[in-house]
Structure formats: structure tokens, C-alpha cells
């Protein structure tokens, strides 16, 4: 029996090593060349932990396997470096001087219930007020938002634009991917997409279509003058995976994990197809960044993890990940599925020094906001 269990353990370790190696190379293999690589990349943190546990077990069970696992462990170095931030001092300093640029990026999920509100006798139940208070508390100079929603001229809703204007964000740019009347009410205007709000004047701006579809996944950029030097701010929302959009009512009271298990085959196809789409979108974004005459800050919901090929292409050599520079741990920003999905990023030009970075764990949207301070390198 002991021999049988030992042989069974060895057999189980072989696919673990293979899967870990595939996950380790996910950052180098394009989804269009091998679409399954996206799934292995998503699983990298879990495979890493499992491999480390297996190494400890093999210290007592099978030393040869332990040596093999130790040999393959460094293959995942780049994914490990992109996934985990190792910084001792991550305390946040709320005050800053004029030489520091503070940037916030946040997928606001249409300000969570701002559109589909719950009506009560006294008011409309929404997270919008708490989200605006969070923005006010951090007081960023530049605010980038994805899944942005603004409703103008509604008798029962105050426009987000007006509320942000009162906080000092008098300059703004919206992609207006969806625009029109709200609930067929004349004069009530709906704006959706991605948006940049700024306390600094916008010098130049543009919208770049990245998917050739009428969705809120387009790219916008705006130039601002920071300490007498121009910098270009980009924001976009890469295509969502929409794994659960057709599950309403189909699985009763099942939670998201149970639905994922029951739909694992369909979910895997959607992940693969969407990552191929991301590759196309990132190529367009990267081209726009490379054309910029000014240093760049890219903020957005990339809907991909740092273990992916698309993340590496987006970041390239001229951008640095603010969270990796000054954050700590994994820093997941989408909390509804698992603890490893850091899919919202602030990528700063290498001509800038990142001073601090924070992920604010407030469950107001389905994403956490990311805030970063930076200054020009001296």
C-alpha cells in the first residue's frame, strides 16, 4: 500500500511540473499562437503554491522529484516578479506637495447602482456618494475611470460631472462609447465609456477605437502640463470576459464559484477567445503609446493579470507598474472571483519616480481603486 501511494504521488507530480512550466511561460506565448496559455497564466499563483508544497513533501517522499521541482521553480521568475510586490514600507502618506502627481484609476461599475437604483421613500440607494467621497479623500490630480456613467438633466439624479466639478475636476474627457437619451426621456442624456477627469488643463486629447464595436472598450488620452513638462494620460477598458452574462436565473441560488465549476468548459473557451481579443486591443494601444511625443501614464482595467503575454506587451520597456514599485503582496483589484486578480493597473513612464502606490479595499464597485504618487526623476 505504501508503495502504491508513493507511485501515485509521483504520477500526480508529473502533470504539476508540466502545468507549472506552461504557466511560467505564459508571459512569452501569444494567445493567438496557443490560446490555452491564458488559462495556465491565470492559474500561476495557485500552481506556484502547490509546487512549493510538493517540494516540501518530496523532501520526505522522493528527493529526485524535489530536485527536479527546485530546478523548474526559477522558470517562473518573471511571472513571480510581476505577480508579487516585495516592498517593506507601504505606508500611505495622504499629504503631498506640488512636485508630486497623484493619479487614481478605478473601474467604477457605473457608480454601482447609479443607473439601476433601488427606490425608497426618501432617496435613491446608490454607492455613488461613497465613491465620490473616496475620490475626494484621496484628492488625485488625475482621475481615470472605466465603466463610467454620467446622466445629465435627470430630475432625480445629480450628474456625476457636476459633482466632480465641485471637487475641482473642471477638465474632463469621456469616450462617449454609448450616448443617448435615458429611458426615452427627452432631454435626459446618458454618457458611458471611459473618462479622464483632471485638475490640470487638458492640452490635447483624442479617442482611439480599439475593437471596432459599439462597446465601452475604447482608448482615450489627454495631455496635461505637470511641472512645466507635458505628459500624456491614457485610459481604456479592455474587453470583459462576460463569463456570467448569460447565467441569470439558470443556476438558481448558486454562487459565482459554483457557476464557474458548472460552466468550466464554456468559461475556458471564453477566457481563451477574450485573451486573443485582448492581444488585438493591446497591439492598438501599444501603437498609440509608441506614437506619443510625450512621456506616458497608462491607467485602466486591463481584464488580464500580470502573468499574461498581453500585460508584458502593454507594459513593454518604457512603462513601470506602480504597484510593483511601491505596493505589497498580490494586490488583487477585482475581488468577486478570487484573491489573485490584479487587473487594474497604473503604468508610469520610466522617466518618472513612483513614490507610493495603494489599492483601496473599499467594496463600492466590483473593483478596488488604485492610487499612485509620482514625480519627475531628477
Q: What pLDDT, in 10s, does the model give residues 237-276?
A: 998 865 445 544 454 445 544 555 455 555 666 778 888 8
CATH topology of domain 101-376: Deoxyribonuclease I; Chain A (3.60.10)
**Three-state DSSP state, 185:** strand
Interhelix angle 63-72/44-58, nearest 10 degrees: 150
The residue among 118, 122, 114 whose CA lies nearest residue 154 is 114
Which segments of the chain are extended strands (E)?
A: 101-107, 118-119, 124-125, 142-152, 171-174, 178-182, 185-198, 202-208, 219-226, 229-237, 296-301, 319-321, 344-349, 352-359, 370-376
Spatial neighbors of 299 by CB under 8 A, at least 6 apart, are: 103, 105, 142, 144, 233, 234, 235, 345, 346, 347, 370
Task: State the pLDDT at residue 265.
Answer: 52
Helix axes 63-72, 2-24, angle to 10 degrees: 10
Residue ranges of the chain assigned to CATH 3.60.10.10: 101-376
Pairing of β 142-152 and β 101-107: parallel
Write down the pLDDT at residue 263. 52
Low-confidence residues of the chain: pLDDT under 70: 113-126, 179-185, 212-216, 241-269
CB 279 within 8 A of CB 215: no
The per-residue pLDDT for 248 is 46
pLDDT, one tens digit per residue, over 4-48 is: 888 889 899 999 999 999 999 999 999 999 988 989 999 999 999
pLDDT (0 to 100) of residue 338: 80
Q: What is the pLDDT of residue 111?
A: 87
- For 53, the grid coordinates are 508544497
- Other Cβ atoms less than 10 A from the Cβ of 307: the count is 28
Cell of 349: 513612464
Give the pLDDT of residue 152.
Answer: 87
End-to-end, the C-alpha distance of the chain in Å comes to: 67
Which pLDDT belongs to residue 259?
52
For position 350, what pLDDT does the model report?
97
What's the number of CA atoms in the CB half-sphere (13 Å) around residue 260? 10
Amino acid at each position: 500500500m505504501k508503495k502504491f501511494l508513493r507511485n501515485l504521488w509521483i504520477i500526480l507530480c508529473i502533470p504539476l511540473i508540466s502545468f507549472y512550466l506552461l504557466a511560467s511561460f505564459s508571459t512569452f506565448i501569444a494567445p493567438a499562437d496557443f490560446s490555452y496559455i491564458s488559462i495556465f497564466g491565470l492559474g500561476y499563483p495557485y500552481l506556484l503554491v502547490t509546487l512549493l508544497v510538493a517540494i516540501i513533501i518530496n523532501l520526505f517522499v522522493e528527493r529526485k522529484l524535489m530536485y527536479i521541482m527546485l530546478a523548474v521553480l526559477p522558470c517562473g521568475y518573471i511571472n513571480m516578479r510581476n505577480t508579487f510586490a516585495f516592498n517593506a514600507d507601504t505606508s500611505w502618506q495622504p499629504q503631498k506637495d506640488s512636485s508630486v502627481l497623484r493619479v487614481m484609476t478605478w473601474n467604477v461599475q457605473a457608480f454601482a447602482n447609479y443607473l439601476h437604483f433601488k427606490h425608497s421613500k426618501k432617496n435613491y440607494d446608490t454607492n455613488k456618494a461613497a465613491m465620490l467621497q473616496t475620490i475626494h479623500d484621496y484628492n488625485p490630480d488625475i482621475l481615470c475611470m472605466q465603466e463610467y456613467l454620467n446622466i445629465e438633466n435627470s430630475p432625480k439624479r445629480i450628474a456625476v460631472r457636476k459633482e466632480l466639478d465641485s471637487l475641482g475636476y473642471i477638465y474632463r474627457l469621456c469616450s462617449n462609447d454609448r450616448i443617448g437619451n435615458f429611458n426615452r426621456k427627452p432631454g435626459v442624456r446618458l454618457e458611458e465609456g471611459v473618462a479622464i477627469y483632471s485638475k490640470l488643463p487638458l492640452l490635447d486629447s483624442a479617442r482611439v477605437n480599439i475593437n471596432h464595436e459599439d462597446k465601452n472598450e475604447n482608448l482615450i488620452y489627454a495631455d496635461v502640463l505637470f511641472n512645466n513638462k507635458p505628459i500624456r494620460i491614457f485610459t481604456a477598458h479592455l474587453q470583459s470576459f462576460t463569463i456570467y452574462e448569460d447565467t441569470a436565473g439558470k443556476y438558481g441560488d448558486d454562487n459565482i464559484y459554483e457557476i464557474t465549476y458548472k460552466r468550466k468548459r464554456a468559461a475556458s473557451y471564453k477566457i481563451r477567445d477574450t485573451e486573443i481579443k485582448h492581444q488585438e486591443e493591446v497591439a492598438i494601444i501599444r501603437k498609440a503609446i509608441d506614437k506619443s511625443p510625450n512621456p506616458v501614464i497608462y491607467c485602466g482595467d486591463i481584464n488580464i493579470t500580470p502573468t499574461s503575454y498581453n500585460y508584458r506587451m502593454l507594459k513593454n520597456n518604457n512603462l513601470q507598474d506602480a504597484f510593483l514599485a511601491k505596493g505589497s503582496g498580490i494586490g488583487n483589484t477585482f475581488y468577486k472571483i478570487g484573491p489573485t486578480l490584479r487587473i487594474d493597473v497604473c503604468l508610469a513612464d520610466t522617466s518618472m519616480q513612483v513614490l507610493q502606490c495603494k489599492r483601496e479595499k473599499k467594496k463600492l464597485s466590483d473593483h478596488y481603486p488604485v492610487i499612485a504618487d509620482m514625480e519627475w526623476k531628477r
